[in-house]
Copies of this chain bind each other. A is one copy, B any other.
């Protein structure tokens, strides 16, 4: 199974954009390299690294990528998960321990169909993976629309990072091999979801006001309360227009008594 050279045009598949893979604080560059290889195996080339511990690219990382230089060199490095997903409208967070806060976890096969449908409509999508040892923290999970978990042996669920990336990428590729599966499942009317950066601004606005009015007290409970509120709004899959409406509502409610004076 020797590697071959590839170019972006060869690797990309027709029918919309491909999902971005976002690795949050990956510890080992070698693992990142293996993720590059797994991605390109499945026709994905949009890699984003949030604060990779050993930097990127490294010599070991490139060696582990086994010729997937296209992905290695195209990777974007950012400082925060928010930056990494700013231009995306549909984001999945992967976890080995599904939390019930966002409803039930999706399986990769189903998520792959939804990702294909979103790409068809021109939406930009992405999947977030946590660091090797600990997985994603709650703040990162709260930024996602849905949680994704791979059904595995319950007695041994510890999945290598590159295996997790391969699994999701593989299912995405397979969903495109049998195009009928996802085309048939396609829903009738496309909704244009708001970019994540607008959602984050809305959260900032709301949370600032809620701190100001004392709703987010006591301070030690604040992170959990904020997470619950974000989860609720993530689930609503807001459009551009709806985010603007929500911001109007927040401003309206807080202005109310100012205007009366």
Residue A232 is within 8 A (CB to CB) of chain B in the complex: yes
Chain B residues positioned under 8 Å from A7 (CB to CB): 155
Whether the pair B104, A155 counts as a contact (CB closer than 8 A) is no
A182 contacts which of B10, B151, B164 (Cβ < 8 Å)? Answer: B151
Chain A residues 40 to 88 lying within 8 A of chain B, measured CB to CB, are 40-43, 66-68
Given the known interface contacts A186-B104, A228-B242, A233-B236, the answer about A153 and B40 at a Cβ–Cβ threshold of 8 Å is yes
A256-B110 Cα distance, complex, nearest whole Å:
44
A233 vs chain B, min Cβ distance (A): 7
Whether the pair B153, A256 counts as a contact (CB closer than 8 A) is no
A19-B152 Cα distance, complex, nearest whole Å:
16
Whether the pair A256, B209 counts as a contact (CB closer than 8 A) is yes
A130-B2 Cα distance, complex, nearest whole Å:
12
Chain B residues positioned under 8 Å from A43 (CB to CB): 153
Contact segment of A21-29, A119-127, A171-179, A196-204 = A171-179
Chain B residues positioned under 8 Å from A206 (CB to CB): 249
Residue A252 is within 8 A (CB to CB) of chain B in the complex: yes
